Amino acid sequence: MSLPALLTQHIARRPQRIALLQHIAEQGSITRAAKAAGISYKAAWDAIDELNNLASKALVERNTGGRGGGGAKLSVEGERVLRLYQKVQALQAQILEAAEESSDLDLLGRLMLRTSARNQLQGQVSGLRREGRHDRVSLALGGGLEIDALITHDSTARLELTLGTTVMALLKAGWVQLRTAEDEAEAGCNELNATVEEVQADAQGDCEVRLALGNGQTLCAFAEASWLAEQSVKEGSKVKVQFHPSYVLLGVPV
């Protein structure tokens, strides 16, 4: 089975993130792999989360309590991606040789977009229906999870969305709201169950919360430290996340 198109394109654009997998395989630790790659521990996990979300199966398996910040190893899928990475490197060399002018590479760079959205979830279009001036696009994320996006009719046509189309759902961390497991969802909002994996606080009392979804994908959200304390939310806590469909941005491979 071939890798999803979005993951394959990501590999071509961001080979340094795939190279991180090699360091994990060699070091057996996220902390040591991050050091070897010259990036922070947080940046390493951001990269791993993005790759795991793009892949059909997790690429990295984390073992808590290991030396140097917790052990980690590649899954079978992660090892397969590493082999693909070597092939991609060879293809990149061929592309560089084939470029007729340096401006060709500049053009390709402009056509490949990086986004500020922290959350990137791969899914497939499972439903399309009109709602006034918008289309409600249902996305199957895998593992029985589904979210909706509200986009214009023009966007649906421009992206050539049909049932089964593979898409990337982009969602800023600030648009993801944390709720306790007992809270009722707001009408019209997407709601997903999640488990808190990590909480990182800053000097201003704001926290970045890393959340694991039931299908192996992850989300990042922001919350105030005082709210987390009041609700006794910590690592391992079961929570809900919600966000309005209009906040979900969609992208497709070009």
**Per-residue pLDDT tens digits for 200-213:** 888 777 899 999 99
Q: Do domains 5-111 and 115-254 have the same CATH topology?
A: no
What pLDDT is stored for residue 5 in this prediction? 54
pTM of this structure: 0.63
Tell me the average pLDDT of the chain. 82
Q: Regarding predicted confidence, which is higher, 122 or 126?
A: 126
The answer, yes or no, to whether residue 176 has pLDDT greater than 80, is yes
- Tell whether domain 115-254 is in CATH 3.40.50.720: no
Q: Per-residue confidence at 66, pLDDT binned at 50, 70, 90?
A: very low
- Tell whether domain 5-111 is in CATH 1.10.10.10: yes
* Residue 111 to residue 100: CA distance in whole angstroms: 17
Q: Could you tell me if 156 and 167 are in contact, meaning their C-beta atoms sit under 8 angstroms apart? A: no
Q: Could you tell me if 13 and 85 are in contact, meaning their C-beta atoms sit under 8 angstroms apart? A: no
* Residue 180 to residue 241: CA distance in whole angstroms: 9
Least confident of 11-25, 44-58, 124-138: 11-25
Neighbours of 251 (CB within 10 A): 15
CA angle 70, 72, 73 (to 5 degrees): 165
* Residue 164 to residue 5: CA distance in whole angstroms: 13
Domain residue spans of the chain: 5-111, 115-254
